Amino acid sequence: MKAIHFGAGNIGRGFIGLLLSQAGYELTFVDVSDVLVGAIQAKGSYTVELADGSGRMIEVHNVNAIDGKNSALVAEAIAGADLVTTAVGVHILKHIAGTIAQGIEKRLTASVTAPLHVIACENAIGGSTQLKELVYGHLPAELHAVADRSIAFPDAAVDRIVPLQHHEDPLHVTVEPFYEWVVDRSATLPGFQEIEGVHYVEGLEPFIERKLFTVNTGHCVAAYHGYLRGCSTIQEAMAQEAIRAEVRAALQETGAVLIHKYDFDSAQHDQYIEKILGRFTNPYLSDEVERVGRSPIRKLSPSDRLVRPAMLAAEYGLKTEHLVQGMAAALHFDYADDPEAVEIQSSLKESGLSSTITRYTGLAADHPLHQALEAAYNQVKQQA
Ligand SMILES: NC(=O)c1ccc[n+]([C@@H]2O[C@H](COP(=O)([O-])OP(=O)(O)OC[C@H]3O[C@@H](n4cnc5c(N)ncnc54)[C@H](O)[C@@H]3O)[C@@H](O)[C@H]2O)c1
Ligand SMILES: O=P(O)(O)OC[C@@H](O)[C@@H](O)[C@H](O)[C@H](O)CO
């Protein structure tokens, strides 16, 4: 079984690549980083270190890499693969869609009928579905129906905290011990060989929303409040009582939404929250607030981890105060090396607070959340 994985970055090497290799796949990474591609080609292996104090290392052997800039070579590899996965960032999917379409076209022209599954392992609702739309945009219309018969794009939720890496070896990667990869089985094709270590479900929505609105909501609330208070890492932020309380309160708000929407067991969901808070305080990890807060435009967008649960809470008549505080802190994230943070800061200066809120969150000026956010934005800075 052959797998092509786009993105030899932190989660690509530290989770998806590791799991696929352990599941017996012949694995080829595709990346645009010459350093990563060159190192994988030269070594053919790398080491994953578990951040649990044990010093345990896992060797990943027999891996290869292709330069993502060589789309002909990548398309050739996709034509002969059983599985394509991605962990590049949801905003990058549009840049790899053309190459994936090229590979699919090659495959269909050569009358390969074996199923190909394409799974986007990004932090987004419907990531693989979004990728499918982008790929089909590049495929000739007459091939769409044929492609539907042998190519599937099951949505997925992936969870493992993998911080920025600062090792001499560019391939070495330190990861938290916890991991969870959930895939929508109902979108797979007959003949799909399930990947060992993956949890399959019929219908992904509760799983992706539970993950995104708990792990990622809590994470970014810690990051944005931490950044405002001068903390460098999530661990440092979570050590501050006020920030920990803010994160917990935001997760109680998203928890109420999830319990209402999916009828989750409330005690079990509380345990899920506690487990996640424990993961954020893992003393063997050092996770920079700038990584966790990265891309604030994406994180403030209407379908992402702050605005979407707040909109649902408002619709259900539930509390939103701490989610709004998180959004306000996100608007104050003025990290100069993050192009999305820079864009928000320019918008605040040039267009003012109200227009900026509407532009990035989709909340109209007369929406109660918009008004609450304006007030919170002005207060958050004073509290920091
Ligand atoms: N790090 C985590 O804790 C974590 C956990 C779960 C999900 N994710 C998600 O996984 C994705 C990747 O995150 P990450 O932290 O590994 O980021 P990362 O920056 O470490 O890795 C992304 C990799 O994609 C590569 N890339 C960029 N453009 C490319 C292209 N056109 N073709 C091929 N490769 C390309 C980059 O060179 C980089 O190596 C994001 O969507 C993120 O939300 C991350
Ligand atoms: O990757 P992002 O930018 O969507 O979110 C940053 C972190 O919250 C994220 O990478 C987590 O570490 C990860 O989602 C844990 O599973």
- Mean pLDDT lowest for which of 255-264, 339-348, 372-381? 372-381
Q: Which ligand is nearest to the CA of 220?
A: 2
Condensed to tens digits (0 to 9), the pLDDT of residues 162-204 reads 999 999 999 999 999 999 999 999 999 998 999 999 999 999 9
What band does 384 get if pLDDT is binned at 50, 70 and 90?
low
Answer yes or no: are the C-beta atoms of 317 and 260 closer than 8 Å. no
Calculate how far, in angstroms, residue 195's C-alpha sits from the geometric centre of ligand 2: 23
- Known binding residues for NAD(+) are 3-14
| Ligand 1 atom, smallest distance to 12 CA | 16
H or E segment and range at residue 21: helix 18-22
Q: Both tokens of residue 324?
A: 């709004």
Domains of the chain, first to last = 2-203 (3.40.50.720), 206-383 (1.10.1040.10)
What band does 134 get if pLDDT is binned at 50, 70 and 90?
very high
| Ligand 2 atom, smallest distance to 291 CA | 6
What's the confidence (pLDDT) of residue 245? 98
**Does residue 381 surpass a pLDDT of 90?**
no
- What residues form DSSP beta bridges with 84? 4, 118
Q: Please determine, for the modelled complex, whether the ipTM score is greater than 0.90.
A: yes
The rounded mean pLDDT for the chain is 97
How is residue 170 annotated by DSSP? T
Answer yes or no: are the C-beta atoms of 118 and 87 closer than 8 Å. no
Q: Which residues line ligand 2 (CB under 6 A)?
A: 123, 159-161, 215-216, 219, 292, 294-295
Residues in the chain: 384
Please list, in sequence order, all residues whose beta carbon lies within 8 angstroms of the beta carbon of residue 71, skipping any fewer than 6 positions away.
98, 99, 102
H or E segment and range at residue 163: none
- What residues form DSSP beta bridges with 183? 156, 200
Task: Pinpoint the alpha helices (H) of 203-288.
Answer: 205-211, 217-228, 234-238, 241-262, 266-280
Answer yes or no: are the C-beta atoms of 208 and 174 closer than 8 Å. no
